[in-house]
Chains A and B, each alone.
Chain A
Amino acid sequence: MAVIRDVMPVFELYQPASIDDAIKLLDKHGADALVLAGGLDSMDWLKDRLKKPKAVVDLGQIKELKGIKETNGGLEIGAMTPLSEIVRHPVVREKFSLLMEAAELVASPQIRNQGTLGGNVSQDTRCWYYRGGWTCYRAGGNICYADTPTSVNREHAIFDADRCVAVNPSDTAPALVALDASMVIRGPKGERIVPAEDYWIGPGIDITRMNVLAPNEILTAIRIPPTMAGAQFYFEKVRDRQVWDFALVNVASAIVVSGEKIVKARMVVNAVAATPRRLKNVETLIIGKARNEETADMAGKLAVEGAETLRHNAYKVPLMRNLVKRAIRGAGATWTS
């Protein structure tokens, strides 16, 4: 047999056929196990030999984790459903096109065919100091190497940094928060449901993980309620390259207008903090107002209040302000600033 050049670290591979078996395995191995979904995030960690798990649990064989079900006007999407399947799904396109737009802008067609929704929302941060093998605060050390006077930190956080300035890179995460989705999590003690906006956690709460999943839990499904079905959606992702790249800032909004006034709104921005940032103050401000330039202006200003920039990422403040403004103007509005 030929020599394997890209030597993987030594570990046990498990391919459980049911969620229960997967949880048993995770419960047994605890933090020594790595969960593999589409593998796009995990493979990098393994290839770079930066994570050396004793066990890898591949969820690919679990049929119950795949597929999209319709539920009472909403949807339940299995965590292992590929992004491309979500983009193609007729109900997603018709009622929750915000998620379709977000999923369609993830990476490249090849990656969307393999990458899963559960993986996209649960992926680790892309901070290159952390992923480059630096023993930073997030990797178990003391220092955030992205937050020193000489750091290259153009893609890092402008909100809620707490000894770590990494951001959440997901595109589908803000869309799910805007759609008021909830995450179905299964562990040894049974199932628990967490609202999407509480699924992600910042460095102030726990530096070792980006979401609430305990080492012996898995995300099994994402439920989208009918709350925001058919609302006016807006999604925009700004990145250096028009394909493949992660977002510098992205915005997802769902707005319901009755008469001339906004009656319901959810607005979320990602890649500005370690968690998707729901702009509750902006939502409160714009409810009852018309969807016009004046509202957009006020919302934009309010959205970026309290932003703290690093040496190279001050551009994210006007970028985020303008994205929020554009989200309020809505799709098809003429771009003015």
Chain B
Amino acid sequence: MRFTLNGTFRRIDAHPLKRLLDVLREDCALTGTKEGCGEGECGACTVLVDGAPVNSCLVPIAQINGARVTTIEGLRGRHPLQHAFVEHGGAQCGICTPGMILAAVALGKKPTLDQMKVGLAGNLCRCTGYSAIYRSIDAVTSTARRNRGDRKDREARSGSRTKKPRTRAGVTR
């Protein structure tokens, strides 16, 4: 099976109905893509195939022959959404985050709140941190806020700065 993975051409020898999710995690050693439910309900395994989000747990590798696949690793940690998720608490336990971010990437430039809700309808967050996720996406996509309000936003949040390290510690613990 041949496909382009995060901009690099790959040739994989695998069972043709092996799930794309397993191929990514096991054959390509890209473990950023997570498995949640394994049946298309939670969206944790979301990746982009030719730019459109799909559940990689339901895609047999045979179906992506010749396609362009983007995983969370393909954003190389530099995508503004990734920074925004860190900045605005969009990631809590983190298992839904790679899928959330990729589904959010597919939303395009300036999604409204409704578009975000519809676009992320296939992604579950068990920490129920949806508001923070919408806030994170909003922070990136609304350029007005990026130029002007973001600083204000940060200043406003600096009051709760003491809280931030505590969450960090909570994660490492």
Q: Name A's B-contacting residues (CB within 8 A).
A: 1-6, 8, 13, 15, 36, 39-40, 43-44, 46-47, 56, 58, 60-61, 84, 107-111, 113-114, 242-244
In the bound assembly, the distance between CA atoms of A5 and B16 in angstroms comes to: 14
Q: A2-B26, A44-B39, A58-B63 are in contact. Are A84 and B122 (CB under 8 A)?
A: no
Question: Which chain A residue has the least Cβ–Cβ distance from B121?
Answer: A243
B151 at the interface (CB under 8 A from A): no
Tell me the bound Cα distance from A300 to B138 in angstroms.
Answer: 44
Task: Known contacts A40-B40, A108-B40, A109-B118; decide if A8 and B15 are in contact (CB<8 Å).
Answer: yes
Which residues from B are CB-within-8-Å of A15? 62
A113-B22 contact, Cβ under 8 Å, with A13-B17, A39-B60, A43-B60: no
Further pairs besides A108-B40, A108-B121, A244-B41: 6, Cβ < 8 Å: A4-B14, A58-B63, A60-B62, A110-B103, A114-B54, A114-B59
Top 3 A-B residue pairs of the complex, sorted by shortest distance between their CB atoms: A108-B122, A2-B26, A243-B121
Contact count A vs B, C-beta below 8 Å: 90
Q: Establish whether residues B40 and A107, one from each chain, have CB atoms under 8 Å apart when the complex forms.
A: yes
Query: Shortest Cβ distance from A3 into chain B, in angstroms?
Result: 8
In-complex Cβ contact of A111 among B19, B103, B122 (8 A)? B122
**Contact, CB under 8 Å: A13 / B119:** no
B interface list, Cβ under 8 A from A: 13-19, 22, 26-27, 38-41, 43, 46, 49, 52-55, 58-60, 62-63, 65, 103, 106, 118-119, 121-123
Nearest-Cβ distance from residue B34 to partner chain A, whole angstroms = 14
- A40 closest partner in B (C-beta): B58
CA distance A201 to B34 in the complex (A): 39
Question: What are some 21 contacts across the A-B interface (CB < 8 A)?
Answer: A2-B27, A3-B26, A4-B14, A13-B16, A13-B62, A36-B60, A40-B58, A43-B17, A44-B39, A47-B38, A58-B62, A108-B41, A108-B55, A108-B122, A109-B53, A109-B106, A109-B121, A110-B103, A243-B122, A244-B41, A244-B121
Given contacts A2-B26, A60-B62, A108-B121, contact A113 B40 (CB under 8 A): no
Contact B22 A6 (CB under 8 A): yes
Complex formed: what's the CA distance from A88 to B19 in Å? 28
Q: Is the CB of A109 within 8 A of B119?
A: yes
A82 nearest in chain B by CB position: B52
Pick from B17, B26, B38: contact of A46, CB below 8 A: B17
**Distance in Å from the Cβ of B13 to the closest Cβ of chain A?**
7
CB of B43 within 8 A of CB of A108, answer: yes
Known: A2-B27, A44-B39, A114-B54. A109 touches B19 (CB 8 A): no
Asked if B54 and A110 sit within 8 Å, CB to CB, the answer is yes
Contacts of B121 in A (CB 8 A): 108-109, 242-244
Indicate which residue in B14, B26, B118, B122 contacts A110 across the interface (CB closer than 8 Å): B122
* Contact with B55, one of A4, A110, A243 (Cβ below 8 angstroms): A110
Contact residue among B27, B59, B106 (Cβ-Cβ distance under 8 Å from A39): B59
**Neighbour of B63 across the interface among A5, A39, A46, CB < 8 A:** A39
Return B22 CB to nearest CB of chain A, in Å: 7
**With A58-B63, A60-B63, A108-B122 in contact, do A113 and B54 touch (Cβ < 8 Å)?**
yes
Cα separation A89 to B52 with both chains bound (whole Å): 16
B52 touches A113 (CB 8 A): yes
Cα A5 to Cα B43 with chains together (Å): 20
Report the Cα distance A40→B59, complex, angstroms: 8
Residues of A within 8 A of B15 (CB): 4, 8
Q: Which residues of A contact B49 (CB under 8 A)?
A: 113-114
